[in-house]
Amino acid sequence: MSPADTGEGAGNTAYGKKPFKRSRSHFADRITADGRDGWPVEAGRYRLVVSRACPWASRALVVRRLLGLESALSLGVTDPIQDDRSWRFTLDPGGRDPVLGIRFLHEAYDKRETGYPGGVSVPAIVDVPSGELVTNDFQQITLDLSTEWKDHHRPGAPDLYPEALRDEIDEVAEGVYRDLNNGVYRAGFATGQEEYEKAYGDVFRRLDLLSERLRDQRYLVGDTLTEADIRLFTTLVRFDPVYHGHFKCNRNKLAGDPVLWAYVRDLYQTPGFGDTVDFDHIKRHYYGVHLGINPTGIVPAGPDLSGWHEPHHREQLGGRPFGDGTPPGPVPAAEEIPAAHRA
């Protein structure tokens, strides 16, 4: 996410007169098994840089964990508060990423293209030997982790993008992206009433359609977890803490929809989902950075997060979360979310 392409900027940079429009990823090279773009899959060569606040980066966190790619693709986590110089590695000793040796993510962008005029977004994958950005294509990164990195998946890794279901997954994900993933931003950064009400309507129309779809089936496509569920989860988990109030998507909270509230709790309680969520980072970023919307920078104390662990009873619908595979193992100690930041 960046000031230029997502509204996730510092100060008022995200708040202008034009309708909100998300830019396409500028660096769309792919890391593939055959290395056709010049970036072959190699364990240990690349570093995934994320903000735990960002829903687009959180997709990559969930997929990496479910597939067991922790040892093959290292992880850098930025401070949830970026400044005009981009995402900062202030969470690391000395304020530098311990692998890349940089203080700001823009340094990897500059290595790739000097004077790049666009925003510095996450997720980003960086080539460790050269220090260059490889890709910031958040739509493709997770698909490639599922399909191109198979030789490095853990034993028992689920198939998150099964070939027989790809058309349906893509169709469902496109509607979710257009109306919900991106729709909440269109509502939040709207500069006119009509623009806002159109986005607001799209958000809740899609939520209603999803609620109906999930009423009698546990997952969005098929009877196992897929890429479609991951893309929906990262928006739903932020809905009540952020989008309901901060982005004025306030017809009702997610907790007011029995189907979607049970569905997202089911996912949150599934290894690989909730154990990647940092509610503290999420709230501090949105409320502390979007000063055009929240000029005081005050971060709300709520909502109460205890309900995330209540029984969801979605297992009664059947389904096999990991298909023929198994759940991921424990979170690596260095990547554990602090207890105070979890539900």
Q: What is the pLDDT of residues 184-227, one digit of tens each?
A: 999 999 999 999 999 999 999 999 999 999 999 999 999 999 99
Residue 130 neighbours by CB under 8 Å, 6+ apart: 111
**Tokens at 139, concatenated:** 């739509």
Give the pLDDT band (50/70/90) at residue 1: very low
Residue 109 neighbours by CB under 8 Å, 6+ apart: 27, 86, 116, 120, 124, 133
User: What is the percent of the chain with per-residue pLDDT over 70, rounded to a whole number?
Assistant: 93
pLDDT in tens, 146-193: 999 999 999 999 999 999 999 999 999 999 999 999 999 999 999 999
What residues form DSSP beta bridges with 83?
Answer: 86
Catalytic residue among 109, 185, 219, 243: 185
Residue 270 neighbours by CB under 8 Å, 6+ apart: 225, 321, 327
More confident residue, 26 or 95: 95
Asked about 249 being catalytic, the answer comes back as no
Find the range with the poorest average confidence among 5-19, 151-165, 264-278, 328-342: 5-19
More confident residue, 10 or 284: 284
Give the pLDDT band (50/70/90) at residue 98: very high
Give the pLDDT band (50/70/90) at residue 15: very low
> Which CATH number does 165-341 carry?
1.20.1050.10
State yes or no: pLDDT of 244 exceeds 70: yes
Q: What is the pLDDT of residue 84?
A: 86
More confident residue, 85 or 280: 280
Q: What is the pLDDT of residue 22?
A: 56
Mean confidence (pLDDT) of the chain = 93
Question: What one-letter code names the amino acid at 309?
Answer: H
User: What is the percent of the chain with per-residue pLDDT over 90, rounded to a whole number?
Assistant: 90
pLDDT in tens, 55-83: 999 999 999 999 999 999 999 999 999 98
Q: What is the pLDDT of residue 117?
A: 80
Question: What one-letter code names the amino acid at 132?
Answer: E
Give the pLDDT band (50/70/90) at residue 9: very low
Residue 49 neighbours by CB under 8 Å, 6+ apart: 75, 76, 77, 78, 87, 97, 100, 105, 108, 122, 123, 124, 125, 126
State yes or no: pLDDT of 7 exceeds 50: no
Exposure of 224 by Cβ count < 10 A (0-12 exposed, 13-18 middle, 19+ buried)?
buried
What residues form DSSP beta bridges with 77?
Answer: 50
Nearest to 263 by CA among 218, 206, 308, 305: 218
Asked about 54 being catalytic, the answer comes back as yes
Give the pLDDT band (50/70/90) at residue 18: low
Exposure of 296 by Cβ count < 10 A (0-12 exposed, 13-18 middle, 19+ buried)?
exposed
CB atoms within 10 A of CB 206: 20
pLDDT in tens, 42-53: 999 999 999 999
| Percentages of the chain per state (helix, strand, coil), in multiples of 5 | 40, 5, 50
Question: Mean of the pLDDT values across residues 297-306?
Answer: 96
State yes or no: pLDDT of 13 exceeds 80: no
Residue 311 neighbours by CB under 8 Å, 6+ apart: none
**Tokens at 74, concatenated:** 């290292």
What residues form DSSP beta bridges with 48?
Answer: 75, 125
CA 157-163-165 angle, 5° bins: 100
pLDDT in tens, 258-294: 999 999 999 999 999 999 999 999 999 999 999 999 9
> Which CATH number does 3-152 carry?
3.40.30.10
* Domain residue ranges in the chain: 3-152, 165-341
pLDDT in tens, 114-149: 988 888 999 999 999 999 999 999 999 999 999 999
State yes or no: pLDDT of 11 exceeds 60: no
pTM of this structure:
0.94
- Do β-strands 74-77 and 46-50 pair in parallel, antiparallel, or remain unpaired? parallel
Catalytic residue among 46, 54, 196, 243: 54
